[in-house]
Chains A and B, each alone.
Chain A
Amino acid sequence: MQQKEELESLLKTCESAKDSVDAFLRSINDYVAVVEELPAIAKPLVRRDLESNTGMSADEWKAFLERLGTRYSSIYDAAQRVTGALADGGDDTEVAAATATLKEVSAPLREGADVAIEQLETMAVYMEGLPDKINMVPEAFLKGDSRDELISSVPGRIERARALKELLEKTKGELSAVAG
């Protein structure tokens, strides 16, 4: 009974996390689009700034988020199979096989969750400091419109990074309970 509840909770978290990953991925794509519109001289700066402060370029962030989204889908499918096996009468062999699959597909996420949580916080902190940093750039290098556009897109990204971070923390706990 408890396992079913834990699985239900995990399934809900996976659904929310998939949405959260998609939203964050969209915001990274929006960020890339804003950067692409910057004057040629400011573009490499902003690109390099993201990489030197978060340890990952925009492309790496996109690759990581795409992978995370796929991982959540795999975990969701595997958790559903465990739920299905339990609902079918709780055949021990079937439940054990489905649980083993869940354990297997969730292993990379459990291994990388702490680093991902740390990285998402790093991204949130980076984004928090970005407006001040942008405002320190002289007008000669970054015009008013580009500056405003860059700054106005920041708050949403901070929220999305922190929301995904919380969901990863939750997933990590739930996976330990369900898949050991």
Chain B
Amino acid sequence: MVIYVEDSNATISEVLANLQQIFNGVESLGKAVEFGDKVAIPIYQFNFGTGGGGGGGGREGRSSSGVGFALGGTIGPVAVVVLTKDVPGPQGIQIHQFGTNKLGEALAELILRFWEMIESQMGKREKLSSEKKEKLMNI
């Protein structure tokens, strides 16, 4: 978003400061994904930055001045809240927070947990013993 103003005055810095304060770090809930007895709700964070500048000049008798400033921002998922429907209270709420540079890992971990839940519903198998595995690998 870019906003141009006709004139520079003291209120611009106040507006900028206020906007930054309003938008920075705002978190928003995303669309809930329901699976089985669980509901996952992604949380997004908005990060805003601002910049601006001004100047003046012109010819004799036709002086001019102006100022401009811009707002830029990013939106990214920061966490997922998983609610277990049948578990009341805080025990039914899990929050999986993503590290900024480990988003993929965190998502994979979340889905792995989800997959494990499916496995438990389908009936998980016993582990293959190391003795049996060795026999297979030496067959």
Contacts and interface: CB of A to CB of B under 8 A. Distances in A.
Q: Do A and B bind each other?
A: yes
Interface string A75-114: 0000000000000000000000000000000001101110
Interface in B89-139: 104, 107-108, 111-112, 114-115, 118-119, 121-122, 124-125, 127-128, 132-133, 135-139
B118 A137 contact: yes
Contacts of A58: none
Contact of A55 (B34, B118, B121, B127): B127
B137 A60 contact: yes
A141 B124 CA distance: 21
Interface in A59-77: 60, 63-64, 67-68, 71
A180 to B, nearest CB: 19
Interface residues of A, number: 37
Contact of A52 (B36, B111, B124, B136): B124
B37 to A, nearest CB: 13
Interface stretch (A7-15, A23-31, A115-123, A152-160): A115-123
B133 A45 contact: no
The interface residues of chain A, by DSSP majority, are classed as helix
A48 interface: yes
A33 interface: no
B44 to A, nearest CB: 15
A49 B124 CA distance: 10
Q: Size band of the B side of the interface?
A: 20 to 34
A44 B112 contact: yes
A129 B122 contact: yes
B35 A138 contact: yes
Contact of B135 (A52, A111, A129): A111
Interface string B26-68: 0000000111100000000000000000000000000000000
A133 B114 CA distance: 12
